[in-house]
Amino acid sequence: MEKVTGSEKGTGREKVRLGIIGYGNMGSGHAKNILAGRTPDIELAAIADVSPARRDAARSAAPGSARILGDGGELIESGLCDAVLIAVPHYQHPPLAIKAFGAGLHVMCEKPAGVYTKQVREMNAAAAAHPELAFGMMFNQRTNPVYGKMREMAAGGGFGAIKRVNWIVTDWYRTQSYYDSGAWRATWNGEGGGVLLNQCPHNLDLLQWICGMPSKMRAFCHNGKWHDIEVEDDVTAYFEYPNGATGVFVTSTADAPGTNRFEITLERAKIVSENGSLALWELEVSEREFCRAEANGFAKPPMRERAVGADGEGEGHVGILNAFAENILRGEPLVADGSEGINGLTLSNAMHLSSWLDRAVDIPFDEELFLSELNKRRAASRNKDRVSEATFDTEGTY
C-alpha cells in the first residue's frame, strides 16, 4: 500500500498503517481490537516494547500481522507506519509524540497527555507546527452518550448558567498488589502521580469538557493514606469558576463500595449522572428569578423530575480509533483533539500544586513552580533511577 501522509488527509485512500508503542494492558487491548476487525480503516503494522516478554506476547497475538520492534524510537523511524498510538508510562507521551510529528506521523496518545503542563505545551506546539497531521487523545469516555447528553444540556439546554458542580468518583478501588505489580507504579518519577494521573484523567477531561475550566483550585491530596505508595490515593478538591460557580471533586482508590455521582446545578435545572443513568430536575422558572420575586420565604421553585434518555451506546476505545482513522483518510472530525489533553492535566496539576503549597492556586498557575515542586519529589522517588523522558521505556502496564 502507498503510504498515507498527513498532507493527503481526506483523499479517501486505503487503510491507515498503525504502530503501537507499548504492549502493556492498554496497548495489547488496542491491538486486540484492531486484529479482531473492529477498526476497518486500520491495519496493525508494528508493535514496539522494550520488554522481551511483551514482545514475545505481541508475536503470539499477531503472528505475521505486525513487525515487532524494540522501542518507540525504532518504530517511529522504521517507515512502516502512517500513524502511532502511544501507550507507555506518562512521562514519555510528549517526547514520543514530538518525535513522531517530526517524522511525519499522525499521533494518537493514551491518557494522560503527560505529567506536567509545560511538557504537554511543548507537545501541542509540535502538533500545531504540523497541522496536516492528525493528533488525537484517547478520551474514550467522551463517546459515552450519558456524558454527551450532560454536555449538551449544560451548554445549550436552556437551563442557564452553572451554579455548582459536585463529582464524587471513588469507584476506582485498587489493592496493594495492584501497586506492587510494577516498580514504576505510584511513584513520582515513574508515574508522576497517583489516582489523579492514572485513574482520573477521563473524569477530569469530562469535568472540563462539560463544565468548562475553573479559575481557582484548593485541594487536599493525601499521599499513601490507604496504600504503601508515595503518591496520592485520596483527594478532595474545591474549585471556583469565573462566573462565581463552585465545585467539589472527590476521588480515592480505597473506598469499597465506591460511588460515581456527577451532579451539575444550573439556574433552571439539576442534572445527575449515577449508576449509568441520567436524571433531570427542571425548574419552571429560573431559581435566580424565583428567589428575587417570591414573597414566601420558605417556598421552593416548582419543578419536575424526569429520567433523561441518552441515545446509543458508547463506542469506547474503538470509537476513538475509528474516528482517528476517518480523520486521516477522509477528514472527518476527531472525538478528542490531542491539544485538549492539557486541560484535564491542568486540573490535576493545580490540585497537586495547591496541596503541596497548602494554599489555593489560580488557574493558569505557575508552570515553572509546579515543575520545581514535582522535581523535588522525583529526586526522592523510590524509583528515581528507573524512568526518564529520554528513555522511551515502556516498563509496566496500565
Same domain, yes or no, for 134 and 223?
A: no
Residue 57: pLDDT over 70: yes
Same domain, yes or no, for 255 and 354?
A: yes
Per-residue pLDDT reduced to its tens digit, 371-386: 999 999 999 998 765 4
Q: Cis omega (within 30 of 0) on the bond before 145?
A: no
- The answer to the question of residue 387 being in a domain is no
The runs of H, that is alpha helices, within 219-281 are none
What domain range is 183 assigned to? 142-311+344-379
- The answer to the question of residue 4 being in a domain is no
Same domain, yes or no, for 299 and 333?
A: no
* DSSP code at position 90: G
Q: b/e string for 69-80 if b means 16 or more Cβ within 10 A? A: bebbbbbbeeeb
Per-residue pLDDT reduced to its tens digit, 111-155: 999 999 999 999 999 999 999 999 999 999 999 999 999 999 999
- The answer to the question of residue 274 being in a domain is yes
Contacts of 73 (CB under 8 A, 6+ apart): 96, 99, 392
pLDDT at 384: 61
Q: Span 349-359, mean pLDDT?
A: 98
* Domain CATH for 184: 3.30.360.10
- Would you say 133 and 214 are in contact if contact means Cβ atoms under 8 Å apart? no
Q: Considering its fold, how many domains does the chain have in total? A: 2
- The answer to the question of residue 384 being in a domain is no
- The answer to the question of residue 392 being in a domain is no
Question: In terms of C-beta density within 10 A (0-12 exposed, 13-18 middle, 19 or more buried), how is residue 59 classed?
Answer: middle
Q: Span 47-66, mean pLDDT?
A: 95
**On the CB side of 134, how many CA atoms lie within 13 Å of its CA?**
34
- pTM comes to 0.93
- Return left, alpha or beta for 392; rule: phi > 0 is left, psi -120 to 50 is alpha, else beta: left
- The answer to the question of residue 5 being in a domain is no
- Would you say 67 and 80 are in contact if contact means Cβ atoms under 8 Å apart? yes
Supply angle C-alpha 56, 107, 211, rounded to 5. Answer: 115
Longest dimension (CA), the chain: 77
- Would you say 355 and 220 are in contact if contact means Cβ atoms under 8 Å apart? yes
Same domain, yes or no, for 132 and 146?
A: no
* CB neighbourhood size of 263 (10 A): 17
* Domain CATH for 89: 3.40.50.720
Same domain, yes or no, for 39 and 150?
A: no
Give the integer Cα–Cα distance in Å for 39 and 34: 5
Same domain, yes or no, for 250 and 118?
A: no
Residue 207, phi then psi, degrees to nearest 5? -60, -45
pLDDT at 273: 97
Give the integer Cα–Cα distance in Å for 129 and 9: 16
Contacts of 308 (CB under 8 A, 6+ apart): 149, 153, 271, 278, 279, 280
Residue 322: pLDDT over 80: yes
Q: Span 97-107, mean pLDDT?
A: 98
Same domain, yes or no, for 276 and 149?
A: yes
- Would you say 47 and 293 are in contact if contact means Cβ atoms under 8 Å apart? no
Same domain, yes or no, for 322 and 306?
A: no
Same domain, yes or no, for 110 and 172?
A: no
Same domain, yes or no, for 365 and 325?
A: no
pLDDT at 7: 40
Same domain, yes or no, for 182 and 327?
A: no
- Would you say 113 and 94 are in contact if contact means Cβ atoms under 8 Å apart? yes
Give the integer Cα–Cα distance in Å for 301 and 323: 43
- How does the average pLDDT of the chain come out, rounded? 93
- The answer to the question of residue 385 being in a domain is no
% of the chain exceeding 90 in pLDDT: 87
Residue 8: pLDDT over 60: no
Residue 13: pLDDT over 80: no
- Would you say 259 and 170 are in contact if contact means Cβ atoms under 8 Å apart? yes
Q: Which residues pair with 237 in a beta bridge?
A: 219, 249
Per-residue pLDDT reduced to its tens digit, 158-201: 999 999 999 999 999 999 999 998 888 999 999 999 999 999 99
Same domain, yes or no, for 234 and 366?
A: yes
- The answer to the question of residue 389 being in a domain is no
